[in-house]
Amino acid sequence: QLFKNHVGFDSDSYLELHNLGMKLYTEAMEEIVTGEDAQELFDIAADKFQEMAALAMFNWGNVHMSKARRQIFFPEDGTRETILEKVEAGFEWTKNEYNKAAEKYEEAVKIKADFYEALLALGQQQFEQAKLCWYHALSGKIDVESEASQDVLKLYNKAEESMEKGMQIWEEMEERRLNGISSFDKHKELLQKLGLDGVFSEATDEENAEQTANMSSQINLLWGSLLYERSIVEYKLGLATWDECLEVAVEKFELAGASATDVAVMMKNHCSNENALEGMGFKIDEIVQAWNEMYDAKRWQIGVPSFRLEPLFRRRSPKLHDILENVFSGPR
């Protein structure tokens, strides 16, 4: 349960895919199955093993994302130089773990091209790394031409691209499911004929609808957070696109189900607002966390099933983000 909640590693689904693949493979080997039917069963089994391999890479990436949350401890009587050394070492450690996570997510997509979970996770990884690099860039001169600023903007571009690809694949799969032409629907007739329809667990229409709504909400919530944070970076770099970025962020939050009050709070605390409190623009994580806690209460009441991306979507950003912001944007 610890790994499922905090690392995003769901061993149950991994074992289910393995057992399902073995069941289908074994059935295909039985003499009572005709040659043509066996070939299709082999295809289904291969698909499940492929998904299992991609899931392994996805879980491996999640482990590195969790390692990136390692805390930094400072000596009570440490000098500023000592603190900066610790922070710099922590920055390199975290960046390295983010890069390792990205490699695993990319490997998952290479194994299974429609494994949208890995693309969305990659988007979150790139988003978190963009924030990390931005806070670190505050240690020097900030301008749009600097290498550090360009690296941050590139990471945001990559994050948006990953999110868009993942969202598109998920929406296409959902559309096929609703139209009864998903992979499961295609194989259902054969499985029923062979008495194997029970090997696939099928959610009810109500469960599917609730999980689809939740998935859409979580994706838009992450996407909105990404665009909101990017608008802050663009504003501080003097880019005219910050306003449009913030506008789209609000649209994403509204699609996620944010209330007008929550949106107003975010707009009020954006750094472009003269009345915003110093540093408040970067505290959107607190609002997102509150939304997640409200959803938890709802899910427990009505029993909505969880999904693979949920632990990753709902993880808090590493403490190092706050430390970098305080050390590099505070008084020198």
3-state SS track over the chain: CHHHHHHCCCHHHHHHHHHHHHHHHHHHHCCCCCHHHHHHHHHHHHHHHHHHHHHHHHHHHHHHHHHCCCCCCCCCCCCHHHHHHHHHHHHHHHHHHHHHHHHHHHHHHHHCCCCHHHHHHHHHHHHHHHHHHHHHHCCCCCCCCCHHHHHHHHHHHHHHHHHHHHHHHHHHHHHHHHCCCCHHHHHHHHHHHCCCHHHCCCCCHHHHHHHHHHHHHHHHHHHHHHHHHHHHHHHHCCCCCHHHHHHHHHHHHHHHCCCHHHHHHHHHCCCCCCCCCCCHHHCHHHHHHHHHHHHHHHHHHHCCCCCCCHHHHCCCCCHHHHHHHHHHHCCC
Measured CA to CA, the distance from residue 260 to residue 266 in angstroms comes to 10
- Give residue-wise pLDDT tens across range 112-137: 999 999 999 999 999 999 999 998 88
Residue 119: predicted pLDDT: 96
- Give residue-wise pLDDT tens across range 201-239: 677 778 788 888 888 888 998 899 999 999 999 999 999
- Give residue-wise pLDDT tens across range 9-43: 455 554 565 565 556 556 554 544 556 667 777 78
Q: Which residue reads 């469960």 in tokens? A: 207
**Tokens for 136?**
């670190």
Residue 22: CB atoms within 10 Å: 13
Among candidates 267, 203, 195, 193, which has minimal Cα distance to 235?
267
Residue 3 has pLDDT above 50, yes or no: no
Total residue count of the chain as it appears in this document: 332
Q: Domain segments of the chain: what residues?
A: 1-329
Residue 33: predicted pLDDT: 54
- Give residue-wise pLDDT tens across range 54-66: 999 999 999 999 8
Residue 221: CB atoms within 10 Å: 23
pTM: 0.82
Measured CA to CA, the distance from residue 267 to residue 215 in angstroms comes to 25
